């Protein structure tokens, strides 16, 4: 589950990570009230207005702006709230902005210039350990840094059973070329950040930029946080932060009925039982010259009701030009699945895209007869290749 920047910062703050303070607003009036309140507390009078959407690169798309007066806060908030924010990480249509974060300006000038660093905590699946990735080159695309100057990205591996050790936090501060007060603040920052990541069961905490202010405070200016879905049952407070408006509507609906659906770009919808077979089916579609429109694992019980729900989900995607059903009847009998498909088809009424059904396993031949004699616009196959050829045919 992904969170908004302001929610990620709330979590950071609860673990003692220093953050750029701010308040959320959904209208320009709320934005002004928030700015007034922040000014009373800190007194700089300058604020940044930051679009809250689940996408990075907001700065580049015009979703992060500095306001030097309350009039500017009102005007900029009015611009950003309701806009369709297009960033390098969104689709061409962009993402609708429902709320903004009004944050105190932390880039105030001083004796020395503020510095921006990059830092993230994530799981290294290869080693089964957590890892902190960090760089002196913060504030910009970390992907570009990785490509052009990979030696400027450091990693620190952490044994999840032991946790982050003191010398590791000091090594990070050292590699970021800090000294004195800033060095001390950075070790504190890193320890608290790792604690936040670990205790919240997250799979990612990305802070870009981490800021060193001119008076040597270390502050999280941005926060991209992903919490492991499988751990949400023990974090009801984080679960309440879920913003369904940011998620794919079909995926949300599938989740509600317990189906594993992932929306993809292509034109061939698929309905498969088992994640492994679903992956293989997606490969097959690609090989046949198509592109999968989704990943969908209907699980072990491919009965009429479930098949009907699955068809309806797939058909909500306007890009779908054909549907490939690929079911292996190991525990479930193929003829029962075939009957389910026929019943579901009749219940839905008209389906305007060709359907290819490949059933393999127990009673596959009976299932094929059932489909072939149903009088519906459904083509059957038993072999994988046969199904692929039929997909190719309906696409051409
Ligand atoms: P992103 O573009 O979605 O990653 O959003 P960020 O939260 O990282 O903000 C983008 C950029 O806005 C940062 O890299 C900063 O350069 C700038 N920014 C953020 N906060 C402030 C602030 O308080 N004052 C000023 N002047 N700039 C800021
Ligand atoms: Mn950022």
Q: What is the mean pLDDT of the chain?
A: 93
Question: Which CATH number covers residue 308?
Answer: 3.40.50.261
Kindly state whether residues 288 and 242 are assigned to the same domain.
no
Residue 74, domain CATH: 3.30.1490.20
- Residues less than 5 Å from ion ligand 2, measured at CB: 208, 222
Burial class of residue 309 in the structure, from the number of CB atoms within 10 Å of its CB (0-12 exposed, 13-18 middle, 19+ buried): middle
pLDDT of residue 111: 61
Q: What is the pLDDT of residue 391?
A: 86
Report the residue among 221, 223, 224, 225 best suited for mutation to probe ligand 1: largest number of ligand atoms under 8 A from its CB.
221
Q: Which atom in ligand 1 lies closest to the alpha carbon of residue 60? A: 2
* Statement to judge: residues 72 and 135 lie in one domain: no
Q: The tokens of 195 are what?
A: 């604690």
Residues 271 and 158 in one domain: no
Assess whether 329 and 388 both reside in one domain.
yes
Among the candidates 57, 89, 105, a domain finishes at: 105
State the residue range of the domain holding 82. 21-105
Q: How remote is the CA of residue 207 from the centroid of ligand 2, in Å?
A: 7
Å from CA of 90 to ligand 1 middle: 18
- Asked if residue 152 and residue 5 are part of one domain, the reply reads yes
C-beta separation of 235 from 202 below 8 A: no
Nearest to 106 by CA among 59, 45, 61: 45
Task: Give the per-residue pLDDT at 71.
Answer: 96
The answer on 219 and 310 residing in a single domain is: no
**What pLDDT score does 383 carry?**
85
Instruction: Report long-range pairs for 258-261 (Cβ below 8 Å, ≥24 apart).
Output: 258/299, 259/296, 259/297, 259/298, 259/299, 259/306, 259/309, 259/310, 259/313, 260/295, 260/296, 260/297, 260/299, 261/294, 261/295, 261/296, 261/313
118 is catalytic: yes
Whether 197 sits among the annotated catalytic residues: the reply is no
- Last-in-domain residue among 247, 281, 308: 247
Q: What is the pLDDT of residue 185?
A: 98
The residue whose CB lies within 8 Å of the most ligand 1 atoms, and thus the one to mutate among 35, 89, 107, 213, is 107
Whole-angstrom distance, CA of residue 212 vs CA of residue 182: 7
Residues 13 and 84 in one domain: no
- The Å distance, Cα 241 to ligand 2 centre, comes to 20
Active-site option among 6, 107, 117, 118: 118
Residue 141: the pLDDT is 86
Ligand 1 atom nearest the C-alpha of 55 is 3
Residue 139 belongs to a domain with what CATH number? 3.30.470.20
Mutate to test the pocket of ligand 1, among 46, 48, 105 (most ligand atoms within 8 A of CB): 48
Task: Return the CA Rg of the chain.
Answer: 26
Residues 296 and 371 in one domain: yes
Give 10-residue mean pLDDT values along the chain (396 residues): 97 97 97 94 87 95 95 97 94 94 87 88 95 93 91 96 97 97 98 98 97 94 96 96 93 90 93 92 90 90 82 92 91 87 88 91 92 89 86 85
Judge whether 271 and 307 are in contact, CB under 8 Å: yes
| Catalytic one of 6, 206, 261, 308 | 206
pLDDT at 364: 92
How many structural domains does the chain have? 3
**What gap in Å lies between CA 284 and CA 385, rounded to an integer?**
8
């Amino acid at each position: 589950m992904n969170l908004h920047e302001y929610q990620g910062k709330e979590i950071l703050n609860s673990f003692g990570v220093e953050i750029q303070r701010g308040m959320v607003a959904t209208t320009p009036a709320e934005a002004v009230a928030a700015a007034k309140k922040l000014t009373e507390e800190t007194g700089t009078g300058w604020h940044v207005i930051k679009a809250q959407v689940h996408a990075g690169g907001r700065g580049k798309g015009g979703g992060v702006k500095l306001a030097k007066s309350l009039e500017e806060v009102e005007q900029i908030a009015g611009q950003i709230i309701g806009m369709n924010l297009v960033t390098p990480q969104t689709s061409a249509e962009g993402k609708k902005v429902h709320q903004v974060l009004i944050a105190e300006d932390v880039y105030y000038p001083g004796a020395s210039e503020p510095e921006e660093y990059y830092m993230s905590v994530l799981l290294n699946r290869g080693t089964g350990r957590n890892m902190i990735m960090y760089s002196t080159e913060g504030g910009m695309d970390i992907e570009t840094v990785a490509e052009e100057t990979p030696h400027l990205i450091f990693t620190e591996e952490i044994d999840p059973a032991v946790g982050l050790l003191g010398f590791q936090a000091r090594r990070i501060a050292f590699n970021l070329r800090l000294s004195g007060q800033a060095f001390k603040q950075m070790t504190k920052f890193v320890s608290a950040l790792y604690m936040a990541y670990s205790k919240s069961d997250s799979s990612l905490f990305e802070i870009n930029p981490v800021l060193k202010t001119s008076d040597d405070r270390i502050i999280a200016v941005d926060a991209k946080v992903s919490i492991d879905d499988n751990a949400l049952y023990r974090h009801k407070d984080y679960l309440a932060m879920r913003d369904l408006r940011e998620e794919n509507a079909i995926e949300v609906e599938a989740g509600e009925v317990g189906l594993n659906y992932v929306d993809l770009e292509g034109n061939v919808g698929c309905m498969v039982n088992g994640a492994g077979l679903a992956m293989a089916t997606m490969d097959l579609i690609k090989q046949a010259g198509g592109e999968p429109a989704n990943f969908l694992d209907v699980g072990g019980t491919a009965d009429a009701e479930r098949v009907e729900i699955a068809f309806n989900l797939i058909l909500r995607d306007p890009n779908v030009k054909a549907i490939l059903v690929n079911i292996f009847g190991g525990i479930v009998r193929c003829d029962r699945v075939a009957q389910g498909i026929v019943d579901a088809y009749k219940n839905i009424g008209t389906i305007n895209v060709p359907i290819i059904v490949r059933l393999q396993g127990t009673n596959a031949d009976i299932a094929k007869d059932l489909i072939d004699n149903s009088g519906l616009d459904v083509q059957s196959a038993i072999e994988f290749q046969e199904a692929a050829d039929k997909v190719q045919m309906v696409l051409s």
